[in-house]
Amino acid sequence: ERNSDSFDNRFVLVYVRSPSNTSIGFTFFDLTILKFYTGSIKSKKRNLMHKFRTLLMQVRPLECVALHAELSKDTAKTIRSI
């Protein structure tokens, strides 16, 4: 019998930032149950990365996928910190 406490979801994150840096669209793909979840974060520039960091800390994806142009220094630092 499988212990439910040992069950960990494994996510892959795909995201894109708006040109104005006021929103981030994202998709999390859950590799354990083969489902995906989509959403977006909208905020002023100064709060956007804080909200994105909070999301990453809650979900803790195994891998992050983004266009090279989308990966700013702030975003790369946030992703490396998890």
Residue-wise pLDDT for 53-78, tens only, equals 899 889 889 888 887 666 677 777 77
> What sign results for the dihedral spanned by CA atoms 52, 65, 34, 42?
positive
Predicted TM-score of the model (pTM)? 0.71
The pLDDT-based confidence of 21 (bands split at 50, 70, 90) is: confident
The pLDDT-based confidence of 5 (bands split at 50, 70, 90) is: low
Find the helix or strand (DSSP H, E) in which 54 lies: helix 45-59
The pLDDT-based confidence of 8 (bands split at 50, 70, 90) is: confident
Residue 69's CB is within 10 A of a number of other CB atoms, namely: 8
